Amino acid sequence: MSEQTKAPLSLETTFCGIRLQSPFILSSGPGNFASEGMIRATEMGCGAVVTKTIRLQRAINPVRHIGKISETTLINAEKWADSDRQLWYEKEIPEAVKAGAVVIGSVGHTLAEAKAIVADVERSGAQMIELVSYTEDTLLPMLDYAKSHVSVPVLCKLSGNWANAAETAAKCIEHGADGIAAIDSIGPVLSIDLENRRPQMFSDDGFGWMSGAAIKPISLRINAQMQLSGRVNKDVYGIGGVMNARDAMEYLMVGCKAVGICSVAILKGLPYVQKMIQELAQLLPQLGFSSLDEAVGAALPNFPKHELVTGLDFAYDSARCSRCERCVRACPYGARTLDFPQMHVDSALCRSCGICADLCARGALKSVILPQTSRDVADAAESTAFYDTVASLNQGGLV
């Protein structure tokens, strides 16, 4: 079979033992407001959908509760499901399941609510349950109760606001969680409406919660920490700032079996999920992977054990250069100049930060890590010694 006629790479996967048509999970949010939204997400290719968080009472949201911080980041003051829990049991979940959706029932935020809701969510047909809480102290008792009262897989959703979310994940696994969802939106945060001289959100304090591209590095760090700890040996789906296939690939490579999406479906529309699925199927073989599973955790063996202190060399291809001089302007040290078709770097000024090459949109400028010199080795030892000194002073209460 030629390259042109090869069948697209399958993105089918399993999560907590349940087959998903793709690794993209529409996480709890406005898109899953009712069965219609969950069914549409499934038709667009989502492997699973997470209900709006079901609580004892429906949410009454303030006006203007979702807004734009940037083209890729949102702020919201939205609460939980704004329809009664009985409607979810009797209509929304059963209808979505009947239509073929893999439904994860989101339940929050207290032990009393878990006791009142989880069994009904399971009876309604949800294939998994996701527990949401504001604190670890509440989440673990909710988990203990759910595990003893339902037979479907139970996930715990982590907050990036917690001091050590990876440690909480490990505790959840110890308490029997079947999987982890990480992370929820970050906050509280604030955005100001300049023209009206007031907060953009109409919550009781004007603050909200941030989602989208801005939180991806935080979520990636937490997801990587969970995997690197060796204590989270269950399936994880990563959530936060997945705007395209490359973002999804980052989550897969730090060990996530699936990837949650939410803000992108608002900013670009649910049909955009089809584009992400197609692009991910193309990206996997481009990066040398023959299957989705092969990519999961691929970056974990390459995490450093210590700082690398050395320099950078640069390769410049004038044929690719657009002469935008973005690399020149970006250099804080004034080390780079363009005299097209020649590019010059003053090695006495360059600190080997690497931002110039990262900003080159056309790949005309690339950085290469140089082997360590004896001077680099000595500098690395000096840096380590300083941190050791500060740590010992802290232990002694001297700083």
> Residues 284-341: pLDDT tens digits?
999 999 999 999 999 999 999 999 999 999 999 999 999 999 999 999 999 999 999 9
Considering the domain architecture, whether residues 167 and 269 belong to the same structural domain is answered as yes
Do 157 and 272 sit in the same domain of this protein?
yes
DSSP-derived 3-state class of residue 317: coil
Task: For residue 379, give both structure tokens.
Answer: 């500098």
320 shares its domain with 296: no
Phi–psi pair at 135, nearest 5 degrees: -140, 155
- End of a domain among 264, 280, 302? 302
Are residues 361 and 295 both part of a single domain?
Answer: no
Are residues 12 and 64 located together in one domain of the fold?
Answer: yes
pLDDT digits (tens, 9 = 90+) for 74-132: 999 999 999 999 999 999 999 999 999 999 999 999 999 999 999 999 999 999 999 99
pTM of structure: 0.94
98 inside domain: yes
Q: Are residues 144 and 244 in the same domain?
A: yes
Q: 298 and 314: one domain?
A: no
Residue 1 is assigned to a structural domain of this protein: no
Domain of 362, in residue numbers: 308-399
Asked whether residue 2 is domain-assigned, the answer is no
Question: In whole angstroms, how far apart are CA 159 and each of 82, 94, 223, 334?
Answer: 22, 29, 11, 41
Alpha carbon distance, N-terminus to C-terminus of the chain:
67
116-173 confidence digits (pLDDT tens): 999 999 999 999 999 999 999 999 999 999 999 999 999 999 999 999 999 999 999 9
Q: Say if residues 350 and 333 touch (Cβ distance below 8 Å).
A: yes
The answer to whether 202 touches 65, Cβ cutoff 8 Å, is yes
Question: What's the CATH number where 49 sits?
Answer: 3.20.20.70
Rounded CA separation 13/23 (Å): 6
Q: Are residues 335 and 220 in the same domain?
A: no
What the block records as the tokens of 203 is 């919550």
Query: Percentage of the chain surpassing pLDDT 90?
Result: 95
Distance CA 356, CA 331 (A): 7
Q: How many domains does the chain have?
A: 2
Residues with Cβ within 8 Å of 147's Cβ and at least 6 positions away in sequence, in order, are: 154, 175, 176, 177
Please give the Cα distance from 221 to 239 (Å, whole number).
12
Are 260 and 20 a contacting pair, CB within 8 Å? no
pLDDT beyond 90 at 392: no
Residue 18 lies in a domain: yes
189 and 313 assigned to the same domain: no
CA distance 372 to 308: 8
Instruction: Count other Cβ atoms within 10 Å, centred on residue 160.
Output: 19
What pLDDT score was predicted for residue 7?
A: 64
